[in-house]
Amino acid sequence: MEKAKNNGRILIIGAGGVATVAAHKCAQAPETFKEIMVASRTLSKCEAIKRDIGLRYGRDIQTGQVDADNTPELVNLINTFRPDLILNLALPYQDLHIMDACLETGVDYIDTANYEPLDEAHFEYSWQWAYQEKFKQRGIMAVLGSGFDPGVTNVFTAYAQKHLFDEIHYLDVLDCNAGSHGHAFATNFNPEINIREVTQVVRHWQEGKWIETPAIIEEGSIHFTFDYPVAGPKESYLLYHEELESLALNTRGLKRARFWMTFSENYLTHLKVLNNVGMTRIDEVDYEGCKVVPIKFLKALLPEPTSLGTGYTGKTVIGNIMTGIKEGKSTTKYIYNVCDHEEAFRETGTQAIAYTTGVPAMIGAMMMLKGAWQGEGVYNLEQLDPDLFMEALNQYGLPWHIVDHEPLPATV
């Protein structure tokens, strides 16, 4: 079908914690999101979101059942609902199927996480960047990574590049979860994605090339103690994260880019044991005549991430420390957000990890539907104007702060 006139119609694919938040926030902006559909493989999850939104906001949304691995099914759903925008909050394995459906139907696309193949824990944008010419020729727009990190951290960088620096030389993204969910071991989002992410070899960008260092669970991993606003001192581990790849290309003068995340000793101990006994493997093993993927079995044993909101206390603190040049002088700025788990639960029934991803997903969708972000082809967030997005963060629950800071050291 031809690309339709904007009628404020959004199709959210996925029904987990992030999709729950995004649907709630879309429901809070009826002037932009006039019609909302939530679709997933599990219809009962979509219906639960629909009921909650009806109770909280008095809005009626639509639901649908779809297999996001099945492009023809997606095309049929899109042609039936006729959305102006697809917000992909399904699994990263499904990104390309959904992008293919957008190409076939001529509908704009936005997601929160880059594609990764099911059989390999490998994170890069090349698969989605390869759609650049196809989307351009189709006259539609794809926006990649509109969560918090990636997402808000990219927008923080773009805002700093526009308003605070002539060049950014050193960029450090610091992600702290200082919350407690009360479980012995749990992941704050899909266990498969989470564990694959944090057990990979670490990479950071320095002087035009990627430097590899050991994974966080291995001897020789790089970490240091950082004193976070509100949360206080936390051990922070060097980790590879996808936004580094696009920021290394799109940030003027960049000499080094790193990503840090906090992990408790308890989390790391559990993860090391699970890794050592093979429970984090993503390949099939034979068990009594059946093919079993250990990490999928582990996922079935762990608490459902959407269940963690009840009783979750504490805060997240996520932001960028950037050192660069402004009018010939060296300066360092720290832009960050603090989000409270209990406040997130009161508003949306989810914890702050889902909240800090779902709110920017909605804001990115809002930027596209309102026409603040327009284009043909595939874009990362730092390639788009940051100002209205930054204003919306303050309006929709993720206020940010800018302070002067000391540069982070080159080695820790």
Q: What is the pLDDT of residues 165-181, one digit of tens each?
A: 999 999 999 999 998 88
Q: Percent of the chain beyond pLDDT 90? A: 79
Give mean pLDDT, residues 187-204.
81
Residue range(s) of every CATH 3.30.360.10 domain in the chain: 152-351+398-404
CA 393, 202, 178, 21 torsion-angle sign: positive
The overall longest dimension of the chain from CA atoms, in Å, is 68
Identify the residue with better confidence: 292 or 400: 400
Give me the pLDDT at residue 4, please: 44
**Cα–Cα dist 34/55, whole Å:** 18
pTM, 2 dp:
0.93
**Is pLDDT of 75 > 90?**
yes
* Every domain range in the chain assigned CATH 3.40.50.720: 9-144
Instruction: Find tokens 């193949």 and name the residue.
Output: 117
Output the pLDDT for position 384: 98
Out of 49-53, 147-151, 260-264, pick the least confident.
Answer: 260-264
Sequence-distant (≥ 6) Cβ neighbours of residue 189 within 8 angstroms: 16, 17, 18, 305, 353, 354, 357
For residue range 259-304, list pLDDT tens digits in order.
999 988 888 888 888 888 888 888 899 988 999 898 888 888 888 7
First to last CA, the chain: 54
Count CA atoms within 13 Å of residue 172 on its CB side. Answer: 22
* Domain 152-351+398-404 annotated CATH 3.30.360.10: yes
Q: Amino acid identity of 321? A: I
> What is the phi/psi pair of residue 110, to 5°?
-145, 145
Question: What is the CB neighbour count within 10 angstroms for residue 73?
Answer: 18
Q: What's at 206, amino acid-wise?
A: Q
- Which fold, 9-144? Rossmann fold (3.40.50)
303 exposure class (CB count in 10 Å sphere: 0-12, 13-18, 19+):
middle
